[in-house]
Amino acid sequence: MKLVITIIQDDDVTKLIDKLTENKFRVTKLASTGGFLRAGNTTLLIGVEKERLDELIKTIEEVCETREVIMDPPPLTEDSVFMTEPYKVQVGGATIIVLDVERYEKV
């Protein structure tokens, strides 16, 4: 058994959870916030049998594609870098962490 911790952008969460539950994966959703863009993220905890791990990762890759967005410059503060023009940032995709589960019980 594996525990897959997946951090994705909020824009992808509904589609991914629908796809995961349709394919009989067990998933728990946690709200989280990214550090760099301070944007809404979602952390998913997914329990999966070792034999289905590749299928799970492929599903995540299919739904959570990267894309570019235009960001407005941040407000100026004393210690901030001076930026006046909007800039492109790559968002989306997924961060996937796979852990071994020594014991799993559903009560």
pLDDT digits (tens, 9 = 90+) for 69-96: 787 776 666 666 666 777 777 777 899 9
Q: Domains in the chain, ordered, with CATH?
A: 2-100 (3.30.70.120)
Containing 14, the helix (H) or strand (E) segment is helix 10-22
Could you read off the pLDDT of 29-83 as tens digits, one per residue? Answer: 998 876 655 567 899 999 999 999 999 999 999 999 887 878 777 666 666 666 6
- The whole-number average pLDDT for the span 2-23 is 94
- DSSP string for residues in 44-89: EEEEE-GGGHHHHHHHHHHH--EEEEEEPPPPP-TTS----S-EEE
DSSP lists the bridge partners of residue 44 as 6, 29
Query: 27 by DSSP, 3-state: which?
Result: strand
CB 6 within 8 A of CB 98: no
Task: Tell the residue number behind the tokens 């962490």, with chain if given.
Answer: 97
